[in-house]
Amino acid sequence: MIVLDIYRYALWNLILKDFRVRYRNMSLGVLWSILNPLIMLGVLVVVFGYIYPNKTIQYYPVFLLLGLIPFNFFSLCISSSTTALLENSSLIKKLMFPRIILPVSIVLSQVIHLVIQLGLLAVFIVMFHVPITAHYLWLPLIFMVELVFILGLALICSSLDVYFRDTLYIVQSTLTVLFWFTPIFYPASLANENLPRPLYLLFMANPLSGCIEAARRAVLGQTSPERDLFLMAMVVAFGTFLLGSLLFRKMEKNLADYL
């Protein structure tokens, strides 16, 4: 019990440390959590609302935010957690504690930013008079599935980065590709209409796609997530978490030798 309390204390302090360090010496501080999605939202609204308009999508700014917020959360978590072990190498060498809390703490610290951005989403929902229904209750489960997926990937990327120092660059390149192959500024139905069935299933096997589509159905469609696609997202998310946990535990035995 005492050991668990120590680990819980260490995890909590690491979460707070990451949050404080991120905005230290910044004049706007935590406001960047709101400004970043707003800037990207503004660019996408101008491009796809005026230059190349899509008039078939109602409440387009809310539609965009429902894509941007999950992707921003994913991107920040994975890019930051990949280097978690390398950046804390001195801590790993000096102290005996479960190294797994290092990438986990970074991911959990980003939940604070997620909550802030969900507050921004709530403001837009009120501004654009989007109907509020009981289907909003799906949102906690949807973001929980995304969080499980992120935790699994964070464990994989952080452990691999110790052994293969190119991992961060691969992650950054993959995030750029995923930005376009995730339905952020277009509906997943377009992929369904234009991609062959096997490619569409691969497209939707990305839990981000499944979670974004489920969130849009809950908020804008006033309906439940599509069962098969959301179930696929859940299976991949929990499978990734299991794989990440097993891989991390296998590789952490020799971490100190490579740091």
Q: Is pLDDT of 235 > 60?
A: yes
| Lowest pLDDT segment from 41-50, 56-65, 68-77, 102-111 | 41-50
Provide the mean pLDDT of the chain: 83
Q: What is the pTM of this model?
A: 0.86
Model confidence at 1, pLDDT cuts 50, 70, 90, reads low
Q: Is pLDDT of 3 > 70?
A: no
* Distance (Å, whole) CA 250 – CA 244: 10
Q: What is the model's pLDDT at position 101?
A: 85
Residue 223 CB partners (closer than 8 Å, separation 6+): 135, 217
Q: Which residue has better confidence, 172 or 92?
A: 172
Q: What is the model's pLDDT at position 222?
A: 85
Q: What is the model's pLDDT at position 199?
A: 84
Q: What is the mean pLDDT of residues 69-92?
A: 86
In the chain, where the domains are located:
2-258
**Cβ atoms 135, 224 nearer than 8 A:** yes
* Distance (Å, whole) CA 96 – CA 73: 30
